[in-house]
Amino acid sequence: MGSKDGMNYAPKGKINRVVEPGEFNVGVTALDHGHINGMTNGLIEAGATIKYVYDPDAEKVANYLESFPDVTVADSLEQILEDPEIHLVAAAAVPNLRSALGNRVMRAGKDYFTDKTGFTTTEQLEETKKVVAETGKKYWIYFSERLHVEGAVFAGQLIDEGKIGRVIQVTGFGPHRLDKEKRPDWFFKKEQYGGILADIGSHQIEQFLHYTGNLDAKVLHSKVGNYNNPDTPELEDYGDATLVGDNGATFIFKVDWFTPDGLGTWGDGRTFITGTEGTIEIRKYINVATEQTGDHLFLVTKDGEEHYSLTGEVGFPFFGEMILDCVNRTENAMTQEHIFKAQELCLKAQEQALNITANL
């Protein structure tokens, strides 16, 4: 079962080292979101060496060291950026600061791995595109709802094998538990978190592009609202959008902060994929009222119905592929174009969103 607390959900997978100890060194900084722990787990399992951690908040560093006690505490971010042995900087800053930090990291000659969303404005995205072009460095984003979910990884493998034919439609549900009293102040300020479609919506759009093989798409409609949090009026607790890809595949997704307290994990994330020859449903984190485990995949084809329980069966190949891409300057984990397009579209969905004023 996943954590009850989505902020600190940090999956662990199979050890699958693609480099030797000390061969690929990482500095970790900006510990503003608990996703940094999942990012670190994935890197370590793929063989990366976490050389340093730095954050100006000593409490955040102490909490990080509880999970990763062998990491050296750096005196400053400059110590990490000036170390010629550091290949990659991983960070989970406040969302509207992620782009600027990444630009600084890449100009210092390192690749960058940030929590999603990587950007809160189109202006940030365009600036970072220029920095990537100037430096030749990589700007990676932790789209964990596909990359760190074995059911989602396996779905992609089935699609690549042609099991369901051509994908023509994807539907995504991304509910999250609010845990309002645990959230930092920035979580409730739209300038800082970017809006619900830019933030947790980024997972959804990245999955759509990947599963359908689209390089581009149009946002047809989107909307956001604050239905139940009048005391924090800048928090969007609901959002949805409809997209169509260049190849004609369509996408509908919904994200919200309404996971009930009685659910055994932080959100009943699901993805439904319709192909010309079959369908896939992924129940990512729980099988409600049936099994407390996640990573359930249901496949239906002309040959019948299959239920896969995938925890511990598939692993998380992205992290090793990312490391090798950094070492070899290849694009096998995912392309920079794909990353930037997923972010461009979630920002467009956010910018174009109709803001619903609830009067229920």
* CATH code at position 79: 3.40.50.720
Cβ atoms 201, 280 nearer than 8 A: no
Quick one: tokens of 22? 């000390």
Can you tell me the mean pLDDT for 240-254? 98
Mean pLDDT lowest for which of 5-14, 62-71, 263-272, 314-323? 5-14
Quick one: tokens of 326? 């950094």
Q: Quick check: is 189 in a domain?
A: yes
Q: Quick check: is 90 in a domain?
A: yes
For 26-70, how does the pLDDT look when each residue is reduced to its tens digit (9 = 90+)? 999 999 999 999 999 999 999 999 999 999 999 999 999 999 999
Separation of alpha carbons 32 and 151, rounded Å: 28
What is the spatial order of strands in the sheet that 250-256 belongs to?
304-309, 296-301, 278-283, 270-275, 167-175, 250-256, 238-245, 217-225, 354-356
For a pLDDT cut of 70, what percent of the chain falls above it?
A: 98
Contacts (Cβ under 8 Å, ≥6 apart) of 172: 204, 207, 208, 251, 252, 253, 254, 270, 271, 272
Can you tell me the mean pLDDT for 269-286? 98
* pLDDT of 6: 67
Claim to verify: residue 183 and residue 254 sit in the same structural domain: yes
Q: Quick check: is 334 in a domain?
A: no
Confidence of residue 1 (pLDDT cuts 50, 70, 90): very low
Label residue 3 exposed, middle or buried (CB < 10 Å: 0-12, 13-18, 19+).
middle
Q: Quick check: is 82 in a domain?
A: yes
Q: Quick check: is 20 in a domain?
A: no
Can you give the pTM of this predicted structure? Answer: 0.96
How many Å is the maximal CA-CA distance in the chain? Answer: 60
* pLDDT of 255: 98
Claim to verify: residue 156 and residue 289 sit in the same structural domain: yes
Claim to verify: residue 177 and residue 65 sit in the same structural domain: no
Claim to verify: residue 77 and residue 163 sit in the same structural domain: no
Residue 170's alpha-carbon distances to 120, 166, 189, 341, 350, in angstroms, are 25, 12, 31, 17, 19
Claim to verify: residue 248 and residue 123 sit in the same structural domain: no
| CATH number, domain with residue 254 | 3.30.360.10
Which three-class secondary structure state does DSSP give residue 10? coil
Q: Quick check: is 17 in a domain?
A: no
Count structural domains, the chain: 2
* pLDDT of 12: 81
**Owner of token pair 């609830």:** 358
Q: Quick check: is 236 in a domain?
A: yes
Claim to verify: residue 137 and residue 183 sit in the same structural domain: no
Claim to verify: residue 109 and residue 151 sit in the same structural domain: no
Claim to verify: residue 102 and residue 175 sit in the same structural domain: no
Claim to verify: residue 117 and residue 237 sit in the same structural domain: no
Claim to verify: residue 96 and residue 239 sit in the same structural domain: no
Separation of alpha carbons 263 and 286, rounded Å: 9
Mean per-residue pLDDT of the chain: 96
Separation of alpha carbons 352 and 333, rounded Å: 30
The residue segments making up the domain with residue 154 are 146-316+347-355
Claim to verify: residue 162 and residue 253 sit in the same structural domain: yes
Residue 15 has pLDDT above 90, yes or no: no
Single out the residue of 97, 94, 31 nearest to residue 68, CA to CA: 31
Residue 150 has pLDDT above 60, yes or no: yes
Q: Quick check: is 272 in a domain?
A: yes
Residue 91 has pLDDT above 50, yes or no: yes
Count of other CB atoms within 10 angstroms of residue 16: 13
